[in-house]
Structure 1
Amino acid sequence: MSKNIQVTTIGGGCFWCTEAVFQKVKGVEKVVSGYAGGNAPGKPTYREICSGLTGHAEVVQITFDANLISFEDILVIFLTTHNPTTLNRQGADVGTQYRSVIFYHNELQQEIALKTIQKVQGYYADKIVTELSPLPIFYEAEDYHQNYYQNNKTQGYCEYVITPKLATLRKLHADKLK
């Protein structure tokens, strides 16, 4: 069977968390941490992003085989492994760089994202505030951010923030894991 390769760009707070989640998902071929959605000129740096002044969000760009996992399933996993109801915040990470966002690549992704948000809304008492915007330029993050969890599992942030997200992933989406 031939592959049906697609790409999506999403942000659910810290990109280390989102990257770690999607690296475990069946059908995902590649996850790249990066930045998107800002208005500062040129390629932003992590330090600039952390200032909150560039308008960029920490995001991951996911390459997946739609014959193995649908875009809708990607979004359901995304919306249930971070808190999409907090504006510009994920836990202790606060600022627009940590916003929940789906940067759609085409009109079909936009349509599926709208329907998926409506579908998942029923699982939350608070309103989902995930931003839905067309994909601007995606900038790949510095090398030390790539595969962060895999390379730093015993680091405090990884143990206390990312490991519990992976437990949620296993609990809610075991049938979608590699």
Structure 2
Amino acid sequence: MNLEEITLGGGCFWCIENIFARVKGITKAVSGYANGDIENPTYEQVCSGNTNHAEVVKISFDPTLVSLDTVLDVFFAIHDPTTLNRQGNDIGTQYRSIIVVENDQQQDAALKKIKQLTDANAFADDIVTLVEHKKNYYAAEDYHQDYYNNNADNQYCQLVVAKKIQKFLNNFSHLLKD
């Protein structure tokens, strides 16, 4: 099995990680920090907005079970790619919409998806999602991994994460793992 990896950021990583962990063909979804200026940043450092890292999820997937195009469809459906450095009440460069690619083919696919969505007027405002080659990636601290499942009673999880999961389930239930 030849797995591919792509790293996606669309606000708080707790939402994206939980959703992609449910998708058939995704073998791993790991919350972390990407494309910043310091090595091995902590959550507190990233939240300060001074490291230039984005909160992201590194996704490993089997392209014979789920295509990159489908991964990107889910990504654009579960966050607002039109708000610069923000998702809802989460504000700062660490919450930017970003696709961190591993190679030129992924970059081409991401740019093509953005053009398709733009041409289809899929959003009322312009898409501001960045597409960048991976400079670096660091897994977030252990307590951030599988955060929603381990902290379902947390108010943020109930008010924000659960709503994004429900939106995903409403639109992509056909992609759920068995």
TM-score tier, shorter chain, comes to over 0.9
User: What do residues 108-150 of structure 1 show as CA deviations (whole Å, max 9, x unaligned)?
Assistant: 0000000111122321010110011101111011000000011
| Number of corresponding residues | 175
Superposed displacement of residue 98, structure 1: 0.3
User: What do residues 142-166 of structure 1 show as CA deviations (whole Å, max 9, x unaligned)?
Assistant: 0000000110111100010011101
1:131 counterpart = 2:130: yes
Distance 1:113 1:6 in 2: 14
Any idea what SS the aligned residue of 2:122 has? coil
1:33-52 matched pairs, under 5 angstroms:
33-40=31-38, 42-52=39-49
Superposed displacement of residue 4, structure 1: 3.1
Superposed displacement of residue 24, structure 1: 0.9
Any idea what SS the aligned residue of 1:55 has? coil
Specify the alignment match of 1:161 in structure 2.
160
User: What do residues 30-64 of structure 1 show as CA deviations (whole Å, max 9, x unaligned)?
Assistant: 01110011113x21000000000110000000011
| TM-score with structure 1 setting the length | 0.96
Distance 1:163 1:119 in 2: 28
Output the aligned Cα RMSD. Answer: 0.8
Mapped contact 1:49–1:55 kept (Cα < 8 A): yes
Match of 2:116 among 116, 119, 123: 119
For 2:23, give the aligned amino acid: V
For 1:99, give the aligned amino acid: R
Specify the alignment match of 1:90 in structure 2.
87
Specify the alignment match of 1:106 in structure 2.
103
| TM-score with structure 2 setting the length | 0.96
Mapped contact 1:79–1:120 kept (Cα < 8 A): no
For 2:2, give the aligned amino acid: N
After the TM superposition, which segments of 4 or more aligned residues of structure 1 sit over 2 Å from their partners?
A: none
Distance 1:172 1:119 in 2: 19
Q: Which runs of 5+ in 2 are unaligned?
A: none
